[in-house]
Structure 1
Amino acid sequence: WLQNMLGQVLDALEYLHQLDIIHRNLKPSNIALVSSNHCKLQDLSSEVLMTHKAKWNIRAEEDPVQKSWMAPEALNFSFSKKADIWSLGCIILDMVSCSFLDASEAMLLRKSIRSLPGGLRSVLSTMEGRRIPQAKTFSALLPQMLQPEPSERIAV
């Protein structure tokens, strides 16, 4: 199921990125389940809203928890397609670690890996130790998605 949803989100991001559209606000609440095996991206208005720095500063101050899925550079009003990859990496990280991290631990992890990418190692080790399905796949993928430096991050 997770791989199916991930594939759909990646397809949607690839389509947007081909149109030179950056979502800019990818987070779990912006992935809508429309059936048990189909999802859609929503809140594309952020692509327009977040081109205005003053409006962005207001939104960034509203709820820092909601910004924990944002790439390090996005917090400084620098957006690229790679910022969407970071956000998707955070969503995947949440999904594969939800059985052993509570919501506040997950938020702290998302925030800490912006400056301490090595913090991901212990979570990936725990995933493998708990035999999370596809843990090896996610252990290979997540460090490539969650690189603090955008140029080192993988693309869709």
Structure 2
Amino acid sequence: MIEIRKAQGSDFQQIWTILQEVFQKGDTYAFFPNITKEEVFQIWMEIPLATYVAVENELIRGTYYLKPNQPGLGSHVCNVGYAVSSNVRGKGIGRLMCEHSLNEAKAYAFKAMQYNYVVSTNQAAVELWKKCGFKIVGTLPKAFNHKEKGLVDAFVMYQWFN
């Protein structure tokens, strides 16, 4: 059974293990593959409004952060970043975290959620976000330098809350 809860400082080692693997692959996030643990801590744990973990049998299987997408007059729209451990991908954890993040965003009184940079070749994520109610509202041509495929498009995906 997966439990999603707010992350604690003591969770960061397991979060780092997941994120380091994801970032090193160079196929879904724009961060340099050799990003440092300290940089990731700031990005994933300090800057966001909240960070969450998906836990199964005391092991962190996934994580996401929630933050305003823009300051001031754009702060009613939130931004979220997700990562799932490679050994449990395809088991519904991404969907659970997405559904949880939508509920949390509404609880924080956000009016919409925006994904700024969904790599077009990450078809599993693109299809999942569509199933969760997101629409592609923009395409950034050749905006992502995929580690294996070279320059590929990135999508901006958006969901307004009714």
TM-score by length of 1: 0.30
TM-score by length of 2: 0.29
Q: Which structure shows the bigger proportion of residues in helix conformation?
A: 1
Higher share of residues assigned strand: 2
